[in-house]
Amino acid sequence: MQTNLFQNATSVQVLSKTSTENEIKTYFQKVLELKQSGEEFPIDLELVWPLAYSRKDKAVRALKRDFIENDDFLQISENQSLPRNGERSKGQFLGDDKIEYKL
């Protein structure tokens, strides 16, 4: 669901006093669609961090500082555990784990 709603996140306009009635209506329709999606964490931080932050690491720091993990956001590591032999596959290095944040 979040992909459809935020796939063009860079084209989302910030609401302000000069926003048109249509822009405001569209914004709240998207918020309602997210709420009705039934997903606990429907938004991928990767798609929305540029709307408010100049760098993703700043968004992640603010997220961890100001919100509660597993209540407000979910942190998902793509490679959460090592293989049984304790070694990573060829070409994979420690720190290569991709971390996703769902809001």
**Distance between alpha carbon 96 and the CA centroid of its chain, in Å?**
19
For residue 3, give both structure tokens: 């992909």
Q: What is the pLDDT of residues 47-102, one digit of tens each?
A: 888 888 899 999 999 999 999 999 999 999 875 544 444 454 455 555 556 899 99
For 3, the enclosing helix (H) or strand (E) is helix 2-6
Task: For CA atoms 70, 76, 81, 87, give the dihedral sign.
Answer: negative
Alpha carbons 8 and 2: distance in angstroms, whole number: 11
Give the pLDDT score at 12. Answer: 52
Q: What is the mean pLDDT of residues 3-27?
A: 67
